[in-house]
Structure 1
Amino acid sequence: MESVLEKVLIVEDEVHARSGLTELIESWGYRAECAADGMEGLEKAVSWAPAIVVTDLKMPRMDGMELLSRIGELPQKMAVVMLTAQGSIESAVDAMRLGAYDYIPKPVDPHRLKTILHNASRQREADAELEAEGRQQRDTGVLGPMVGSSPQMVEIFSMIERIAPSNVSVLVTGESGTGKELVARALHDLSARRLKPFVAVNCAAIPETLIESEIFGHEKGAFTGALERRAGCFELAEEGTLLLDEIGEMPMATQAKLLRVLEDRKLRRLGSKIETPVDVRVVAATNKDPEKAVSNGDLRGDLYYRLNVFNIQMPPLRDHLMDVSAIAEKMIDDMNERHHCTVAGLKDSLMNRLEGYQWPGNVRELRNTIERAVILAGSGMLGIEHLPPHFGEPGFAPPPNRVGGMETILVSQEASFEDGQRRLDESNSVRVEVGTTVDEAERQLILKTLVATHNNKTKAAEILGISSKTLQNKLKEYSNASVTE
């Protein structure tokens, strides 16, 4: 028998069905109340705050679909179960797409209804446990994949928590490498869409000729090379969350089509005459000042205002250096799992060096630095000896130009691959000083390239222009040398 404290509201306009369901549900140990139509049901939902609402679909004054929508706007989360007459199953499925927990056809099968109520009650308990766990993590400076206890990060965590349950668009701004994608993932993970897809697309990494196809999809024959029908990112993220990173790099014509999709919740694939409904939450991100981008003509003003329902401004890492320690410890755990290492933590001397650095590449640069150190150490505690040569010293990060004649050579390597496009990141570089041996320069270049490719040895070998076997031999040689030392 379910807890007598669990409350169920029955909304049904037919008198006998309403009284029968109320008695049946009460017999299973629930506290039950009833309402004669959607309007009365909404009033009782507000005042009584049930855990579960069982509602008919067709009712006077306010039908079940509108009731579902209005309940979704309430601060109290309720599981809505839709009752459907014969021939209304399609409408019930649509209701589930809009957030209903489940549906059951009439005449009601008592066994099935009891099972649905039981499962809904258990789901509610699971959600409460997840929320409690999340609250405990947040008290220790953790929100999903994000870490930080500085005032700036606490404020950002609070905003994410407030807006995540809604479906409103969010614009995330901040310098490159500050963790804008982590914000989007946290918004997704804390929303009702968390079990649905999270799709991220970098607008700057897709050629202008392909971006509409990538985002909206295309039909077979829509253009030369379109050999089959293909779903775009919107359809891939159906019922989930779509991150449009570097939105300011999107062509203006594509921005106009995106605005229409956001307003109409329908899209038309390239080459199609049919509009397809989409249910996707859109989070956009940019490292540009969006207002300047609008004034410069890089971003449509109407699209900016449509996306900027909420704005989350990510601070550069240099403005919250007190979080470096916690972020680095979290990264060590991630790198240990990824690279099968057993690093235990950071020595105080290394921590002081990290906290005294200004991090022009922000969290991304910190991640690259920690990943390099973990790979080099393999186990034990990370120390200053695992940092790049001259890390944190004056002049450590000069611009990627020739400096002082031939005294410094800056060799830039590929930082990451996003959607198959090469992007250059100045923080991924090898600084080779005069007096450095060729073997040491080669070792730094190989290890940095491995960091940039997330330890993808095949891709690293391709970038370096050597065979995979040669790369494996080099890594074995470095490993043996480390053991000897």
Structure 2
Amino acid sequence: MEDNGRHVQVLLADDEENVRFAMKETLAPMGCDCREAANGREAVEMFAAGSYDLVVLDYRMPELDGIEALKEIHRVNPDVPVLFVTAYGTKELALEAMREGAYDYFTKPFDVEEMRVVVRRALERRLLRRRLQILSRQMDSSLGFDQIIGSTAEMREIFRLIQKIAGQDVTVLILGESGTGKELVASAIHRHSKRRNGPFVAINCAAIPATLLESELFGHERGAFTGAFAQKVGKFEHAHGGTIFLDEIGDMDALLQAKMLRILQERQFQRVGGNKNVQVDVRIIAATNKDLAQEVAKGNFREDLYFRLNVIPIFLPPLRNRKADVPLLIEHFVRKANAQYGKAISGISREVMERFLAHPWPGNVRELENVISRAVILSHGAQITSTDLPLGFSDLQSGAVEDRAGGAESVRATIELAPEGGGDPRQGLIASVMKQIEAGKSLQDAVEEEIQRVEKDVILASLERNRWRRGLTATFLGISRRNLLRKMQKLGIE
């Protein structure tokens, strides 16, 4: 197995020389270039000094056991998959390793083909993660939107639109729910405009009382009102030569709307308490979480101002409508939080991913970032687990996850036994067995065939649920790993 024409680099750590030799001989035909460590401490030092695509760790080693070595390795590079080797009957240790971020495990004495399958899957995952990171960097580089993450068709269309309008000095209206990233889009437009070297001034119109907002936007003259002891320059003057971003403009009162209309038309205004026109050269980008067309119909927003603002509208979809972007956003926010808080979290557990994909995210991307930041700070392992989540997430049972993007329906469909229209699932089994008996089979043969079909469906569903990690699947089903492999072979599951 090669990565861009080079052999993959594997670090084998086991205190038994014959075991290391056997693993090396097993992996050599796969194109693996193996390096050996005789103890946990040596493995950590070799990993820190080299560049590896995969690590295989034995649990019982001198100087530093497998669990501690795993933690040290993940502090150096959490993206490299680690496989755990345990003696038969020490499954609990292997599960502890997986909780600490190990990719999978196998037991001694190991089966050659089983080991190759596990290694191949781990390396494929490593390769996919690397390609995703490269693709993500290429996307950021080509689009220049460092903080805007998205791969759905709708988000790509937004990126293309930003590229088209950034260089044109037109007014932009960004529409979307709170937390969808409206200010990020506004700042991206500014960064790629001709005004990029000028100021970018943002103000939230809903966060400032109406009595103070006019002064904040346009400034005031000395003595304009009680407490105005000196002249004040407003946000529009601060934004001269650049861009002003008016967030939540839908909350602006009627008097300010009239003044806004004038500045959109003439790019001039008067400070509060003044009678001299102030001319400014600014680009105006506005945003709101309200339906301005409805606000116009209700009489809450000026129609002429709406048409002036709505030259180029950009609608940002809520996160619940772009669930395919959730894994990308998670990876981005974990990296960001790692850098901010000095952590080395490699990612999130399967259960947490299920919960994230099922969550409606009423706070959108901002809520997701906050949850990830909190979890990174609180996590004591290599991965974010359900115990690191807020109570609202911890209360959600992983077995009761509702519809989510990416495969949930296929898993449920695989184990669906109930007849159409619902009812007792046993009726579906009985009907299927009866059909086979009517076709000439004996009761015993019909029942055995139906049991095998159900067993195959459940194993397939469990494998998909656990992302085809055989160790986790076996534990989930309450059987040994070898028993699972025998059943997969017998039932024709590859």
TM-score, scaled relative to structure 2 = 0.51
When residues 148 and 134 of structure 1 are mapped into structure 2, their CA distance, relative to the original with a 3 A threshold, is closer
Rounded to whole Å, the distance in 2 between the matches of 1:196 and 1:379 is 44
| Distance in 2 of aligned mates of 1:223 and 1:378 | 55
2:221 match? 219
User: Which residue is equivalent to 1:244?
Assistant: 246
Which has the bigger relative contact order, CA under 8 A and spacing at least 6? 2
For residues 136 and 217 of structure 2, what CA distance do their matches in structure 1 show? 32
Alignment equivalent of 2:330, drawn from 328, 331, 345: 328
Give the Cα–Cα distance (whole angstroms) in 2 for the partners of residues 338 and 192 of structure 1.
Answer: 31
Match of 2:379 among 373, 377, 400: 377
Q: Where do 1:33-52 residues align within 5 Å?
A: none
Matches within 5 A, 1:18-417: 136-138=138-140, 143-377=145-379, 380-391=382-393
Asked if structure 2 preserves the Cα contact closer than 8 Å seen for 1:342 and 1:378, the reply is: no
After TM superposition, give the deviation of residue 350 of structure 1 in Å: 2.0
> Structure 1 pair 135/331, CA: closer, same or farther in 2 (3 Å)?
closer
Question: What secondary structure is seen at the aligned counterpart in 2 of 1:199?
Answer: strand
1:396-453 Cα distance to aligned partner (Å, 9 max, x none)? 9xxxxxxxxxxxxxxxxxxxxxxxxxxxxxxxxxxxxxxxxxxxxxxxxxxxxxxxxx
Q: Aligned partners of 1:233 and 1:337: how far apart in 2?
A: 33
Structure-2 change in CA distance of 1:362 and 1:136 (3 Å)? same
State how far apart, in whole Å, the 1-side matches of 2:213 and 2:136 are: 37
Matched residues in 2 for 1:272 and 1:224: separation? 15
3-state SS, counterpart of residue 174 of structure 2: strand
State percent identity of aligned pairs. Answer: 48
Look up the match of 2:90.
none
State the alpha-carbon separation in 2 of the partners of residues 219 and 198 from structure 1: 24
Q: Structure 1 pair 333/134, CA: closer, same or farther in 2 (3 Å)?
A: closer
Please tell me whether the aligned partners of residues 152 and 324 of structure 2 are also in contact (alpha carbons under 8 angstroms). yes
Query: How far, CA to CA, are the matches of 1:240 and 1:142 in structure 2?
Result: 19
Aligned residues: 264
Question: Whole-Å Cα distance in 2 between the matches of residues 285 and 252 of structure 1?
Answer: 17
Amino acid of the residue matched to residue 145 of structure 1? Q
- In the TM superposition, what are the counterparts of 1:1-20 in structure 2 within 5 Å? none
CA distance in 1, matches of 2:297, 2:372: 39
Mapped partners of 2:199, 2:136: distance in 1 = 21
Relative to structure 1, the CA distance from residue 135 to residue 372 in structure 2 (aligned partners, 3 Å threshold; closer, same or farther) is: closer
More strand by share: 1
Aligned-residue offset at 1:346: 2.3
Larger Rg computed on CA atoms = 2
The answer to whether the 8 A contact 1:141-1:147 is kept is no
- Residues 214-247 of structure 1: per-residue CA shift (max 9 Å, x gap): 0011111111111111111111111111111111
For structure 1, the residue ranges without an aligned partner over 5 or more in a row are 1-132, 397-485
Note the C-alpha offset of 1:332. Answer: 1.9
Q: Tell me by how many angstroms 1:317 deviates.
A: 0.4
Aligned partners of 2:183 and 2:397: how far apart in 1? 30
Shift of 1:250: 0.6
Contact 2:375 2:388 in 1 (8 A): yes
Distance 2:194 2:136 in 1: 15
Q: How far is the alpha carbon of 1:288 from its aligned partner? A: 0.7
In structure 2, how many angstroms separate the alpha carbons of the residues matched to 1:370 and 1:179? 16
Q: Which stretch shows the higher mean deviation, 344-353 or 265-274?
A: 344-353
Which one has the bigger helix percentage?
2
- Residue 104 of structure 1 aligns with which residue? none
Distance 1:351 1:394 in 2: 12
Given that residues 193 and 239 in structure 1 are in contact (C-alpha distance below 8 angstroms), is that contact kept between their aligned partners in structure 2? yes
Residue type of the alignment partner of 1:271: G
Aligned partner of 1:244: which letter? L
Change (3 A) 1:334 1:139: closer
Shift of 1:315: 0.5
Distance 1:281 1:257 in 2: 16
Aligned partners of 2:387 and 2:394 also within 8 Å: no
Q: For 1:315 and 1:245, how far apart are their aligned partners in 2?
A: 17
Structure 2: unaligned runs, 5 residues or longer: 1-134, 399-494
How far apart are the structure 2 equivalents of 1:267 and 1:275?
5
CA distance in 1, matches of 2:292, 2:351: 40
Native 8 Å contact 1:141 1:154 kept in 2 = no
* Preserved contact between residue 342 and residue 379 of structure 1 (Cα < 8 Å): no
When residues 390 and 247 of structure 1 are mapped into structure 2, their CA distance, relative to the original with a 3 A threshold, is closer
Q: Distance in 1 between matches of 2:208 and 2:242?
A: 22
Per-residue deviation, 1:134 = 11
Equivalent residue of 2:391, what SS?
coil
What does the per-residue CA deviation read over 1:333-373, in whole Å, with 9 as the maximum and x for residues that have no partner?
22233333332322333223212222122112111111110
Question: Quick one: distance in 2 between partners of 1:187 and 1:379?
Answer: 39
User: Is the 2:249–2:288 contact (alpha carbons within 8 Å) kept by the matching residues of 1?
Assistant: yes
User: Do the aligned partners of residues 302 and 392 (structure 1) sit closer, same or farther apart at CA in structure 2, a change above 3 Å counting?
Assistant: farther
- The alignment's TM-score, normalised by the length of structure 1, stands at 0.51
Output one character per residue of 1:48-102: Cα deviation in whole Å (capped at 9) or x when no partner.
Answer: xxxxxxxxxxxxxxxxxxxxxxxxxxxxxxxxxxxxxxxxxxxxxxxxxxxxxxx
Cα-to-partner distance string for 1:124-145 (whole Å, 9 max, x where unaligned): xxxxxxxxx9993258887231
Alpha-carbon offset, residue 268 of structure 1: 1.2
Name the amino acid aligned to 1:137. Answer: M
CA distance in 2, matches of 1:151, 1:351: 22
Shift of 1:394: 5.8
Q: CA deviation at 1:147?
A: 0.2
